[in-house]
Amino acid sequence: MKSIERTWKLNGTATTLRFPAGRRLLDLLREDLALTGAKEGCGEGECGACTVLIDNDPAVSCLIPAGQLPDGTTLLTIEGVEKKRAGRVLQKAFMETGAVQCGFCIPGMVLAAYALLQRNPKPSTAAIRTALAGNLCRCTGYVKIIAAVKLAAARLRKTSSTPG
Ligand code: FES
Ligand code: FES
Protein backbone atom coordinates (compact mmCIF):
# COMPACT_ATOMS: atom_id res chain seq x y z
CA MET A 1 0.00 0.00 0.00
CA LYS A 2 1.19 3.50 -0.80
CA SER A 3 2.68 5.32 2.16
CA ILE A 4 2.20 8.98 2.91
CA GLU A 5 3.87 11.52 5.15
CA ARG A 6 2.27 14.09 7.39
CA THR A 7 3.56 16.67 9.85
CA TRP A 8 1.15 17.50 12.66
CA LYS A 9 1.35 19.36 15.92
CA LEU A 10 0.84 16.35 18.16
CA ASN A 11 0.49 17.08 21.87
CA GLY A 12 2.30 20.35 21.36
CA THR A 13 5.23 19.00 19.33
CA ALA A 14 5.74 19.13 15.57
CA THR A 15 5.72 15.46 14.59
CA THR A 16 6.38 13.97 11.16
CA LEU A 17 5.07 10.49 10.47
CA ARG A 18 5.07 8.14 7.50
CA PHE A 19 2.30 5.58 7.33
CA PRO A 20 0.25 3.54 4.88
CA ALA A 21 -2.56 5.49 3.24
CA GLY A 22 -5.80 4.43 4.89
CA ARG A 23 -4.28 3.63 8.31
CA ARG A 24 -6.74 4.53 11.04
CA LEU A 25 -5.72 7.39 13.28
CA LEU A 26 -6.49 5.24 16.34
CA ASP A 27 -4.05 2.52 15.20
CA LEU A 28 -1.38 5.07 14.36
CA LEU A 29 -1.65 6.61 17.83
CA ARG A 30 -1.81 3.38 19.79
CA GLU A 31 0.48 1.10 17.80
CA ASP A 32 3.04 3.40 16.18
CA LEU A 33 3.26 6.09 18.83
CA ALA A 34 2.37 4.11 22.00
CA LEU A 35 -0.28 6.72 22.86
CA THR A 36 -2.61 4.14 24.33
CA GLY A 37 -4.92 6.51 26.23
CA ALA A 38 -7.32 6.45 23.30
CA LYS A 39 -9.18 3.15 23.62
CA GLU A 40 -10.88 0.99 21.07
CA GLY A 41 -14.41 0.27 22.25
CA CYS A 42 -16.92 -0.21 19.47
CA GLY A 43 -14.67 0.61 16.53
CA GLU A 44 -17.72 2.07 14.82
CA GLY A 45 -17.92 5.67 15.98
CA GLU A 46 -20.56 5.01 18.63
CA CYS A 47 -18.86 4.96 22.04
CA GLY A 48 -16.31 7.79 22.11
CA ALA A 49 -13.62 5.72 23.88
CA CYS A 50 -11.20 6.59 21.05
CA THR A 51 -11.81 10.35 21.27
CA VAL A 52 -8.98 12.74 20.46
CA LEU A 53 -9.10 16.47 19.80
CA ILE A 54 -8.47 17.51 16.22
CA ASP A 55 -7.98 21.27 15.94
CA ASN A 56 -9.65 21.48 19.38
CA ASP A 57 -12.77 19.53 18.44
CA PRO A 58 -13.51 16.02 19.75
CA ALA A 59 -13.32 13.35 17.05
CA VAL A 60 -13.55 9.57 17.05
CA SER A 61 -10.16 8.33 15.92
CA CYS A 62 -11.47 4.86 15.04
CA LEU A 63 -13.26 6.26 12.01
CA ILE A 64 -10.62 8.65 10.73
CA PRO A 65 -8.06 7.62 8.13
CA ALA A 66 -4.92 9.36 9.37
CA GLY A 67 -4.07 10.50 5.85
CA GLN A 68 -7.21 12.62 5.83
CA LEU A 69 -5.58 15.02 8.28
CA PRO A 70 -3.56 17.62 6.43
CA ASP A 71 -0.14 18.90 7.42
CA GLY A 72 -0.44 21.41 10.25
CA THR A 73 -3.35 19.68 11.98
CA THR A 74 -3.33 20.08 15.75
CA LEU A 75 -3.88 16.79 17.56
CA LEU A 76 -4.33 16.41 21.28
CA THR A 77 -4.62 13.05 23.02
CA ILE A 78 -5.20 12.35 26.70
CA GLU A 79 -1.42 12.12 27.12
CA GLY A 80 -1.14 15.74 25.97
CA VAL A 81 -4.12 16.98 27.95
CA GLU A 82 -2.68 15.45 31.13
CA LYS A 83 0.19 17.90 30.80
CA LYS A 84 -2.16 20.87 30.80
CA ARG A 85 -3.50 22.35 33.99
CA ALA A 86 -7.13 22.07 32.90
CA GLY A 87 -6.58 18.41 32.06
CA ARG A 88 -5.11 17.70 35.48
CA VAL A 89 -7.92 19.61 37.20
CA LEU A 90 -10.49 17.61 35.25
CA GLN A 91 -8.86 14.28 36.05
CA LYS A 92 -8.66 15.14 39.75
CA ALA A 93 -12.32 16.15 39.76
CA PHE A 94 -13.30 12.88 38.08
CA MET A 95 -11.47 10.96 40.80
CA GLU A 96 -12.84 13.02 43.68
CA THR A 97 -16.47 12.80 42.58
CA GLY A 98 -16.31 9.04 42.09
CA ALA A 99 -16.92 9.44 38.36
CA VAL A 100 -14.30 6.81 37.51
CA GLN A 101 -15.27 3.16 37.81
CA CYS A 102 -13.74 0.88 35.20
CA GLY A 103 -12.14 3.95 33.64
CA PHE A 104 -12.47 2.80 30.03
CA CYS A 105 -14.51 5.82 28.96
CA ILE A 106 -12.62 8.38 31.02
CA PRO A 107 -9.88 9.52 28.60
CA GLY A 108 -12.54 10.32 26.00
CA MET A 109 -14.74 11.99 28.61
CA VAL A 110 -11.88 14.16 29.85
CA LEU A 111 -10.98 15.20 26.30
CA ALA A 112 -14.57 16.08 25.43
CA ALA A 113 -14.91 17.99 28.71
CA TYR A 114 -11.61 19.79 28.11
CA ALA A 115 -12.81 20.94 24.68
CA LEU A 116 -16.08 22.13 26.24
CA LEU A 117 -14.35 24.15 28.95
CA GLN A 118 -12.13 25.81 26.37
CA ARG A 119 -15.28 27.18 24.72
CA ASN A 120 -17.51 27.56 27.75
CA PRO A 121 -15.94 28.01 31.18
CA LYS A 122 -19.30 27.83 32.99
CA PRO A 123 -21.32 25.13 31.24
CA SER A 124 -24.86 24.24 32.29
CA THR A 125 -25.85 20.64 32.92
CA ALA A 126 -27.51 20.61 29.50
CA ALA A 127 -24.36 21.92 27.84
CA ILE A 128 -22.26 19.25 29.55
CA ARG A 129 -24.70 16.52 28.52
CA THR A 130 -24.58 17.75 24.93
CA ALA A 131 -20.78 17.95 24.92
CA LEU A 132 -20.47 14.42 26.30
CA ALA A 133 -23.29 12.91 24.24
CA GLY A 134 -20.83 11.06 22.03
CA ASN A 135 -19.05 9.46 24.99
CA LEU A 136 -20.77 6.44 26.44
CA CYS A 137 -20.19 5.17 29.96
CA ARG A 138 -21.36 1.69 30.92
CA CYS A 139 -20.70 2.20 34.62
CA THR A 140 -21.70 5.50 36.14
CA GLY A 141 -25.06 6.81 35.01
CA TYR A 142 -23.44 10.18 34.18
CA VAL A 143 -24.52 12.07 37.33
CA LYS A 144 -21.04 11.92 38.82
CA ILE A 145 -19.42 12.67 35.48
CA ILE A 146 -21.47 15.85 35.15
CA ALA A 147 -20.61 16.75 38.75
CA ALA A 148 -16.93 16.23 37.94
CA VAL A 149 -17.04 18.58 34.96
CA LYS A 150 -18.85 21.23 37.03
CA LEU A 151 -16.35 20.90 39.85
CA ALA A 152 -13.41 21.24 37.45
CA ALA A 153 -15.03 24.22 35.74
CA ALA A 154 -15.55 25.97 39.09
CA ARG A 155 -11.94 25.36 40.14
CA LEU A 156 -10.61 26.60 36.82
CA ARG A 157 -12.75 29.74 36.98
CA LYS A 158 -11.33 30.47 40.40
CA THR A 159 -7.75 30.30 39.24
CA SER A 160 -7.78 31.58 35.68
CA SER A 161 -9.93 33.19 33.02
CA THR A 162 -8.98 30.49 30.51
CA PRO A 163 -8.66 26.76 31.09
CA GLY A 164 -5.19 26.55 29.43
S1 FES B 1 -14.00 2.97 19.43
FE2 FES B 1 -14.26 4.79 18.33
S3 FES B 1 -16.26 5.45 18.83
FE4 FES B 1 -16.07 3.53 19.81
S1 FES C 1 -16.27 4.28 34.05
FE2 FES C 1 -16.59 2.37 33.06
S3 FES C 1 -17.29 2.84 31.09
FE4 FES C 1 -17.24 4.72 32.13
Q: Is 137 in the pocket of ligand 2 (CB under 6 A)?
A: yes
pLDDT category of residue 160 using cuts at 50, 70 and 90: confident
Which atom of ligand 1 is nearest to 50's Cα?
A: 2
Tell which of 77, 109, 138 closes a domain. Answer: 77
Helices (H), 21-161: 25-27, 78-81, 85-96, 106-119, 125-131, 143-159
Residue 159 has what pLDDT?
87
Whether 101 maps to a domain, the answer reads: yes
Residue 1 pLDDT: 74
Dist CA 151 CA 133 (whole Å):
19
Report the first-to-last Cα separation within the chain, whole angstroms. Answer: 40
Query: Are residue 67 and residue 101 in the same domain, yes or no?
Result: no
Query: From ligand 2's centre to the CA of 99, what distance in Å?
Result: 8
Question: Are 120 and 50 within one domain?
Answer: no
- CATH number of the domain within which 93 lies: 1.10.150.120
Looking at the CA of 38, which ligand is closest?
Answer: 1
123 and 110 belong to one structural domain = yes
Neighbours of 25 (CB within 10 A): 24
- What's the 92 CA to ligand 2 centre distance in angstroms? 16
Domain boundary among 25, 45, 77: 77
Atom of ligand 1 nearest to the CA of 48: 3
> Ligand 2 pocket, 95 CB below 6 A?
no
Query: Ligand 2: does its nearest atom lie under 6 Å from the Cβ of 101?
Result: yes
Angle, helices 143-159/85-96, rounded to nearest 10 degrees:
140
Provide the whole-model pTM: 0.95
Domain count, the chain: 2
User: In the chain, what percentage of residues exceed pLDDT 90?
Assistant: 93
Q: Is 44 found in the same domain as 94? A: no
- At 42-99, the pLDDT tens digits run 999 999 999 999 999 999 999 999 999 999 999 999 999 999 999 999 999 999 999 9
Domain that residue 62 falls in: 3-77
Say which CATH number the domain at 55 has. 3.10.20.30
To the nearest 10°, report the CA torsion of 97, 114, 126, 145.
Answer: -20
Domain match, 47 and 11 both? yes
Same domain, 92 and 153: yes
The rounded radius of gyration (Å) of the Cα atoms in the chain is 16
Give the number of the ligand closest to the Cα of residue 103: 2
Q: Is residue 45 part of a domain?
A: yes
Which one-letter DSSP state was computed for residue 68? G
Cα 9 from Cα 28, distance rounded (Å): 15
Distance 89 CA to ligand 2 centre (A): 19
Cβ atoms 52, 29 nearer than 8 A: yes
CA distances 17 to 23, 31, 67, 82, Å, are 12, 13, 10, 23
Ligand 1 pocket, Cβ-based, cut-off 6 angstroms: 40-43, 45-50, 60, 62
